[in-house]
Amino acid sequence: MYLNINPTTIMIHNYFLMVTCWLGIIVTMQGRAPRPCTPMPPSIGVCASTDQMSDAGDAGFDFIIPSVAAYLKPALGDSEFSFDEGKGGMPILACNSFFPAQMKCVGPEANVDSLLAYARTVFSRAERRKVSLIIFGSGAARKIPEGYDKALATGEFVGLCIKLAELAAVYDVKIALENLNKEETNLVNTVDEARVICEKVNMPNFGINADIYHMLKEHEPAHHLSAASKHIFNCEIAEPQNRTPPGVEGTDFSIYLRMLKEINYKGGIAVEARWSDFPNQAPAAYQTLKSQLDAVYQ
């Protein structure tokens, strides 16, 4: 039998059908537990010069970290510095070795005006070359002079770091304070001490370069990475005995890598090692670190 149904009735029916469908979808979505976020392993880089970029890329590395002196050349005047030189090739995630040894950061020889003038050159060139992170290791520069009060030196260092962070922010650059073992400096030897400095500086662009090599040298527990997690901008790694690249002495880094996974660390991890033959050692170093990361993140 033919039913004479008004088109308006059909439209109203379809409308309510569509609304009912969407309500069902919404209820279903609201009732469903959210999927847990699966942490991804960090990208793997290497501390190397731009001259080593081709070998680093061939080895599998995702980025390089050259030194401030080599890539940003703050010792040169602007008229001598080429902003185009060194561009291209692999990404440059950061530059390390911020201050040279002769530029003292604390103690009676520290000259804050000179330090800031030098830093301004570094930050301005980093901005032009699209380097977003400067790693503040510089163990000799920040070393507390013998006989100088440690509390006073620490206060001076915090004050300097605040001024550096304020200046870096002008150029949209971040600073990562690196933990260095006691053989290299006597100020900020652990990730936990770097965390305390970060909390005192209290600037969003001032964080930590968590170096697992130095953590191993200082026997620092992996859980300190968790306590400092919100401050960690970058990580570096090498074997502790002779600072060899991963795979030479068979160091198992998994306890530290597992902590990076646990805190859902989203930065990179760079091999900073002593190389005897970079082109030939680099592929094995990359594969060793990648294998350990894959085992942890599987």
- Over range 255-262, report the average pLDDT: 99
Provide the CATH topology of domain 41-297: TIM Barrel (3.20.20)
Residue 248 · residue 286 · CB < 8 Å = no
Give tens-digit pLDDT for 36-67: 568 999 999 999 999 999 999 999 999 999 99
**Residue of 290, 225, 279, 296 whose CA lies nearest to 48:** 279
End-to-end CA gap in the chain: 64
232 CB-near residues (< 8 Å, 6+ apart): 207, 208, 209, 210, 225, 263, 265, 267
Task: Tell me how far CA of residue 154 lies from CA of 105, 150, 203, 265, in angstroms.
Answer: 10, 6, 17, 28
Token representation of residue 255: 């306890």
Average pLDDT score, the chain: 91
For residue 194, report the phi and psi dihedrals to the nearest 5 degrees.
Answer: -65, -35
What proportion of the chain, given as a percentage, has pLDDT over 70? 86
Picking from 208, 225, 207, the residue whose alpha carbon sits closest to that of residue 216 is 225
The HSE-up count of residue 135 (CA atoms within 13 Å, CB side) is: 29
Q: How far apart are CA 56 and CA 264, in angstroms?
A: 26
Q: What residues does each domain of the chain span?
A: 41-297
Q: Quick check: 35 pLDDT over 70?
A: no
Alpha carbons 22 and 290: distance in angstroms, whole number: 45
pLDDT tens digits, one per residue of 59-103 = 999 999 999 999 999 999 999 998 776 556 899 999 999 999 999
Three-class SS of residue 67? Answer: strand
CA dist 161 and 105 (Å) reads: 10
pLDDT higher than threshold 90 for residue 26:
no
The first and second tokens of residue 221, run together, are 């527990």
**The overall pTM is greater than 0.85:** yes
In 3D space, the residue among 288, 292, 217 whose CA is nearest the CA of residue 260 turns out to be 292
